[in-house]
Structure 1
Amino acid sequence: MPRKTASGLGPSARPGVGVSPEALPTPPPTEARAPSGSEAEAMARELERHPNYRVLRRLVPRLRFDHAAGGTLLTVLVLDTETTGLVAARDKIMELALLRVHVDSHSGLPVGAVEVYDGLQDPGMPIPKEVQQITGITDAMVRGQQLDEARIGLMLEGVDLVIAHNAGFDRPFCEARLPQFASLRWACSLVDVNWKALGYGSAKLEQLALQHGWFYDAHRAEVDCHALLAVLGVPLGAQQGNAMQALLAASAQPSYRLQATGAPFEAKDALKARSYRWNAEQKVWHTVLANAELLQAELDWLKAGVYQGRAARVRVEKLDARTKYATRVGEISTPSI
């Protein structure tokens, strides 16, 4: 019978001798400690020093701006909506966010405190699954919810300009839900700012933010508003100012929707190449000109290149900030060319 040691093990089973690594107890894993905010920022700054890396930081909404005013203060309302779909005549608002802030007309910079409103609205219809996936807003979240119309009304008082990133989408929805929006001046940061000329590859809000080193959880109305306010105030260079200045300048002058009434069929390729669009319902080519000078130049081009000396009368719709991006018709004229 084999001789046993005091521990009851045979001689060949002495501790540490002939025992496979798998048989030894595994020490518990050490949990990695998440770096503190200051440590993470230090690492980010170190990465930024290397040419092979770019750092993105989460956008932190600002509720106060300490810029000194050098010009007249304008009251601006930055607005965004989340809706059940894309058609204002059929779909409904399910979230509305507003940032009310003073903006220096000279520098384009926000000044002082930012007043925030963000409200949910029961649209009275099921939210499509694809919309829920994009926004994260569910039927349960909006059930029984109503926008605070009294609070919104107070925020609209004395507003000089409403800004939305795609006002042609947001304005019809807002006017359908709250008619007070119809009397206000609107500007579109997507269309009224020439982002390409300013060096941006895309005018999408997320891409504009990324180009300045910010990321955020898009497709919720309030954070989209904060992202837009931040992007509009970024300096673009000593000679270019910022995008808010460009937006204020564009909103101060009318634009013109020009219809090439009765344009000959053979001119369609030339019109399309010049960025005209075809209105299938009215059966006419049309375009939008940013100012009166561009309108006159376009009328001269139509006369020479499209109508070629034939008598013609075109339709011009003058759009100011109160009618631009609305479904209402602006001031109409029909000049002969």
Structure 2
Amino acid sequence: MLQDTTDLGAMAETLSRSPDYRVLRRLVARPRYVPTLGQHVRTGVLLDTETTGLDHAKDEIIELGMVKFDYAADGRIVGVRDTFSAFNEPSCPISPEVMALTGITDAMVAGHRFDDAAVAAFVDDAVIVIAHASGFDRKFAERYWPVFEHKAWGCSATEIDWRKHGFAGAQLGYLLNGAGYFHQAHRAVDDCHALLEVLDFVLPTTGAPALALLLETARRPTLRVWAERTAFELKDSLKRRGYRWNDGSDGRPKSWYIDVDETALDDEIAFLRTQIYMQDVEPGVQRLTAFTRFSGRI
């Protein structure tokens, strides 16, 4: 006999109140809402792409998913305004590796093309675009649609220290489980719905939604310090410090670099002078904001 769904809900609620159990609920996408007149909210867009590869200069987007949502000043998500989901047929067949990773086949994208005007209209009123890998997604999005060049961006994977707030890591599935949900991701827009619930989750360490912390971090300028012309044997020291390597193929320096808060700049310069260069040098420094961070143009 099938268990009555009302009974199942009551059982789940009872279990969730016990310290010995954790209950995961299947994620159900929120219905669209209509903002009321005079409501003080801002609009954001969650974005996810699937591509034919990792090179934003030559690989192609084969799927775009977006969820437009309103949020309050305290970071609480008020409601979903709209969703966007579309396929795009690339110029070459999708590789077996990408098909295995994304579940997207040539047959699924055949004959599909992005409606560029629809994409631009969808994000036009958003004050911020958030992706769970903005360092990847922003570069692709800007190449296809210039509207994204003029938007502030936030990265939910890197601009929140999830481990510090009790999560096992920054992978979306881990975060969703930590927020009390599970989902069977099939489309890019499904991951956007999952990210929405993760960002609306109240962090026990702050008492506020994760989105509030992300917005606070995104608003702060950061400084990118380039450690150019460093000795090869010092690469491990730089990696331990958190530096990343740029191979120069994107027009930026072929160099190690790190992004730091303004308050940490003096310490970083001191590290390079005393541990790396052993002399009084002036490394190259770029100032980044939400409007330039993660962009391939910088």
Normalised TM-score (structure 1): 0.78
Write the deviation string for residues 194-238 of structure 1: whole angstroms up to 9, x where unpaired.
Answer: 112111111001110011221111252111001101100111137
Q: Which runs of 5+ in 1 are unaligned?
A: 1-32, 330-337
1:302-329 CA distances to partner (integer Å, 9 max, x unpaired)?
Answer: 3344344x23121111111121111112
- Deviation string 1:282-319 (CA, Å, 9 cap, x unpaired) is 55332111x211122212333344344x2312111111
**Aligned partners of 2:58 and 2:170: how far apart in 1?**
27
- CA-to-partner distance for each residue in 1:103-139, whole Å, 9 max, x for gaps? 112x101224421111111122212223223332221
Residue of structure 2 in register with 1:34 after alignment: 2
Contact (CA 8 Å) 1:67, 1:110: kept in 2 or not? no
**For residues 242-286 of structure 1, what are the alpha-carbon distances to aligned partners after superposition, in whole Å with 9 as ceiling and x for unaligned?**
211111111112111111234456654433321223445455332
**59, 62, 69: which one aligns with 1:94:** 62
Instruction: Look up the match of 1:316.
Output: 285
Deviation at 1:162, TM superposition (A): 0.3
- Which residue of structure 1 aligns with residue 258 of structure 2? 287
* Aligned equivalent of 1:183: 150
Which amino acid letter does the alignment assign opposite residue 257 of structure 2? H
Instruction: Give 2:100's match in structure 1, choosing from 133, 143, 147.
Output: 133
The alignment's TM-score, normalised by the length of structure 2, stands at 0.88
Moved more, 96-105 or 231-240: 231-240
Higher helix share: 2
Kindly report which structure 2 residues correspond to 1:234-273, keeping only aligned pairs within 5 A, or say none: 234-237=201-204, 239-263=206-230, 267-273=234-240
Change (3 A) 1:45 1:144: same
Match of 1:333 in 2: none
**Superposed counterparts of 1:296-335, under 5 Å:** 296-308=266-278, 310-329=279-298
**8 Å contact 1:258–1:316 — kept in the other structure?**
yes
Aligned residues: 294
Cα distance change of structure 1 residues 256 and 61 upon mapping to structure 2, 3 Å threshold: same
Judge conservation of contact 2:32–2:82 (CA < 8 Å) in 1.
no
The answer (yes or no) to whether the contact 2:47–2:66 under 8 Å persists in 1 is yes
Letter of the 1:328 partner, please give it: R
Bigger RCO of structures 1 and 2 (CA < 8 A, at least 6 apart): 2
Secondary structure at 1:196 match in 2:
helix
Map of 1:174 onto structure 2: 141
Code of the aligned partner of 2:45? L
Distance 1:83 1:265 in 2: 33
Instruction: Tell me which residue corresponds to 1:116.
Output: 83
Q: 1:73 to 1:184 in 2, by over 3 A?
A: same
For residue 197 of structure 1, give the secondary structure of its aligned residue in structure 2.
Answer: helix
Rg larger for: 1
Q: Tell me, yes or no, if structure 1 residue 82 matches structure 2 residue 53.
A: no
What's the C-alpha RMSD, in Å, of the aligned pairs? 2.7
Structure 2 unmatched runs, 5+: none
Whole-angstrom CA distance in 2 between matches of 1:288 and 1:141: 39
SS in 2 for 1:317: strand
Q: Secondary structure, in 3 states, of the residue corresponding to 1:154?
A: helix
